[in-house]
A and B are shown apart, each in its own frame.
Chain A
Amino acid sequence: MRVLLSRIILLTLPFLASLPAYAGDAADFVAASSGEQARLLEAWAATPDATRVPLLKALQENRLGGDDNDVPFYEKGDAFVGAEGNAQPAGTPRKVRLNNRLRNLISAAMATHQLYSDVAADRLTAARELQRKAQPEQMALLETRLAVEQDDEVGQALTLALANLQLSDADPAVRLNAVRLLGETGQPQARNRLQNLLDDAAETNPAVRTAANTGIVQIDRKLLIGDVLGQAFSGLSLGSILLLAALGLAITFGLLGVINMAHGEMLMLGAYSTYVVQTLFQRYAPDALAFYPIVALPVAFIVTACIGMALERTVIRFLYGRPLETLLATWGISLILIQLVRVVFGAQNVEVGNPSWLSGGVQVLPNLVLPWNRMIIIGFALFVVALTWLLLNKTRLGLNVRAVTQNRNMAACCGVPTGRIDMMAFGLGSGIAGLGGVALSQVGNVGPDLGQSYIIDSFLVVVLGGVGQLAGSISAAFGLGIANKILEPQIGAVLGKILILALIILFIQKRPQGLFALKGRVID
């Protein structure tokens, strides 16, 4: 018993002896409760200290942990290294749990520390961060940093951060100056601060109130531009998605006249091809995973084109000129394809990830971020349209397709192999639908029912645009997209959709041939 006791003492002795050496910032933080941690961070933000930067960085990246004795450790790869001194962890260190409040305080503290950085870019990000997060206690700090700041851009950012705090200054002249500065920036977060000054009780000086009012008008004007551009962009983006969904149908239904209910499933198969390519990349070439969508494009095109051609050869060929039977047959095919995919891949949605170059966005205006995946899809839609147009108008295949669809008998007389052209054209339409599926997999869910949710929209676009006209489909797709996005904020997504459908019914009543009517001989 005594031996055991002395052993315990011997074991804990070195730890006890070295304890004072650990009582640094990191150790304080690890040992503190969540409320104390918040107070620590506030204190650190007010008194920056260059030695604390690694700790804050580790906190930002969520790498700080504490072992069983609350000794702090940083996670480096798979291992843990002592944050203060070369301690060996007792037990596996557990990461410090952060919440959103602490994360905000960490980035504010990091920002005040970064103001002392030698790199101007770091100081600039820090000053911008402080425009949003600075607290009154940091005012003195900001003033001293502004006085020694050499870089113009950083200086301006600091002035603005300071202006936010000066709104509650005792001197009306200082307040007036701050209000003017904020009004000129056009930043949305400044608007709310100025709005608070409009109240008689909050702001006693009439000159400051008037300036605040002018500032709000200035900001509103800038925000309006961002709003309108944002709405136009989301309209274009929705339009491009509709276009990609409908373009294949514009060929199979528009040019060939096949009421192709299985069109949605071609989109779905295109999306599943993307999934398969992604899985293969994950397994065999994880380093090149970022490029899988590019490889998926030709794969999806070939897969869906082949399936389309096979369908044309085996089923649709025998039903030309019998639209009702075609409708039923293609609908049956669509059900078979859905069930097939369910059997092979399961009924649940599959995960198709955005590669990093398709994630995130660019900040264009203070209130406008354009996501990369949507921009690339708009570009891709235009690219596919151009490709289709070139194929139909500049190649021999396109010439034959147009000849056959306009006058089958005459084309046959001139020696055009109409049967083969039908097959090729149907394959082309299906292949383009497959390309659309690749794009859809990057914005929405990939599941067996994916096609079902797009088939109605696709038919709407083609019929509204005028059957047989590519230009019609393009203008209808973008028109529908933009109309939808103008209506949605006013009356909500559910009512907006209903209203759009009602408008289309009225339009078709008035103009059954669609936006662009095909002149001359129409398909028989």
Chain B
Amino acid sequence: MQRRSLIKAFTLSASIAAMGMSWTVQAAETIKVGILHSLSGTMAISETSLKDMALMTIDEINAKGGVLGKKLEPVVVDPASNWPLFAERGRQLLTQDKVAVTFGCWTSVSRKSVLPVYEELNGLLFYPVQYEGEEMSPNVFYTGAAPNQQAIPAVEYLMSEDGGAAKRFFLLGTDYVYPRTTNKILRAFLHSKGVADKDIEEVYTPFGHADYQTIVANIKKFSQGGKTAVVSTVNGDSNVPFYRELANQGLKATDVPVVAFSVGEEELRGIDTKPLVGHLAAWNYFQSVENPVNEKFVADWKAYAKAKGLPNANTAVTNDPMEATYVGIHMWAQAVEKAGTTDVDKVREAMAGQEFDAPSGFKLTMDKSNHHLHKPVMIGEIQDDGQFSVVWETDSPIRAQPWSPFIEGNDKKPDHPVKSN
């Protein structure tokens, strides 16, 4: 079975290569698609694979004849983990390359940086990563999770009997908008569950922070006061030294579990995961999910990585933002087919209610009004092979609440996108 799907994947990629050759001939009839991910700098660990996943999905769509009878032509730019450069590259994609849609960004600060550009020039951005909410732009579709689709269920799990019945929470994050807002929401949520301020500790580190000695020592000290869990919103390659320090200082998952919102299969490739077994991550998809769509997705990706000679292709893995990228591109293509044009305003209308059978094993729906996907929530435990085993999941996809009810004043915000300026 596996071999057969692998063969299928190979023939698929072979036909993709054949398609690639014909591109140059009909270059005039392509639809340009922008890809805006950091290929260097501190975020490259996470974002590079999204670029490759986007290219694979585009190849897949082209192999089936493209969109509106035209082939998609990817335009890849590298904003180099430099937030202002995101805005610059975004503007270049819209004005110079005239792309129909852009798939990109990981950190919220990069999304905030390009947002004014996309609103000014009426571009279309698909954002594939879990984020803090508090935003709903008519020019962005959010295919990652809002806090109620990731952070809050994760903390609820930690408080449950199976999750270890944690009483104290150590909120550790990188110092920028996503961790700060998420932790603000979590603090309000924990208050509503009767957790006092003295049982919540909030700590931030700069991007690219590499020395976690003091922080791990503090986590240890904090955990003496009762059953503790760490909620980590550490982003990028800082995770490697953080987990290494945890292991070296002997802090085990059975004593103090760490649940991470930005650590997936891709990030774990840089670490020896044996000392990390039992630590958790909350996502809407894991590579280990068992269903036919996912089996094909993973096999296609592995074959693609081999065929393209990506670095470390033999250990290629899929993760949640990659799945969100894949779903986003397919939904956009469906919406364009439905609208019959790539015009941003028409595509935006056609996006409402789009459905797609996602590798997570659920039929995901784009919400009719709020530009967010309905997503299932899963909690996975790190295994010694760098994969996650799902220990808890929701029965059905949940609707996103980008305006979290745990932040004051959000009840007055409209449930449809409004330009931010």
Contact = CB atoms under 8 A, between A and B. Distances in A.
Given A188-B224, A347-B39, A494-B204, A485 B214 contact: yes
Contact of A230 (B206, B217, B253): B217
A238 interface: yes
B8 to A, nearest CB: 24
Contact of A103 (B175, B218, B250, B278): B278
Interface string B34-66: 000001111011001000000000000000000
Interface in B226-253: 226, 237, 240-241, 244-245, 247-250, 253
Interface stretch (B9-17, B181-189, B268-276): B268-276
B132 interface: no
Nearest to B226: A192
Contact of B249 (A347, A361, A444): A361
Taking each of A107, A354, A493, A494, which has the highest tally of chain B beta carbons within 10 Å of its own beta carbon? A493
A367 B222 CA distance: 11
Interface stretch (A46-54, A369-377, A411-419): A369-377
Contacts of A349: 44-45, 237, 240, 270
Interface string B208-229: 1111011101101100111000
A447 B44 contact: yes
B206 A493 contact: yes
A387 B225 CA distance: 46
Interface string B157-201: 000011110000000000100000000000000000000000000
Contacts of A489: 214, 218
Interface stretch (A93-101, A166-174, A426-434, A470-478): A93-101
Nearest to A449: B41
Question: Most chain-A CB neighbours within 10 Å: which of B39, B40, B218?
Answer: B40
B217 A192 contact: no
Contacts of A189: 224
Nearest to A444: B210
A351 interface: yes
Contacts of B45: 348-349, 445, 447
Interface residues of B, number: 52
Given A348-B45, A492-B203, A494-B204, A342 B40 contact: yes
B391 interface: yes
B205 A453 contact: no
A497 B247 contact: no
B226 A103 contact: no
B77 to A, nearest CB: 14
B292 interface: no
B161 A101 contact: yes
B275 A359 contact: yes
Interface in B303-329: 311
A88 interface: no
Contacts of A492: 203-204
A191 B205 contact: no
B401 interface: no
A345 B44 CA distance: 13
A276 B194 CA distance: 53
B138 interface: no
Given A192-B225, A347-B44, A372 B248 contact: yes
Contact of B241 (A104, A231, A363, A445): A445
Given A107-B254, A189-B224, A360-B248, A99 B241 contact: no
Given A238-B211, A359-B272, 16 more contacts: A100-B253, A189-B224, A192-B224, A192-B226, A227-B221, A241-B211, A351-B269, A369-B249, A371-B249, A444-B210, A445-B45, A445-B210, A453-B208, A488-B214, A493-B206, A493-B215
17 contacts: A34-B162, A99-B278, A100-B164, A104-B254, A107-B254, A189-B224, A192-B225, A227-B217, A234-B211, A241-B211, A347-B44, A354-B272, A359-B272, A369-B249, A443-B244, A447-B45, A449-B42
Cβ-closest 8 pairs across A and B? A371-B248, A234-B213, A444-B210, A347-B40, A346-B311, A188-B224, A445-B237, A493-B205
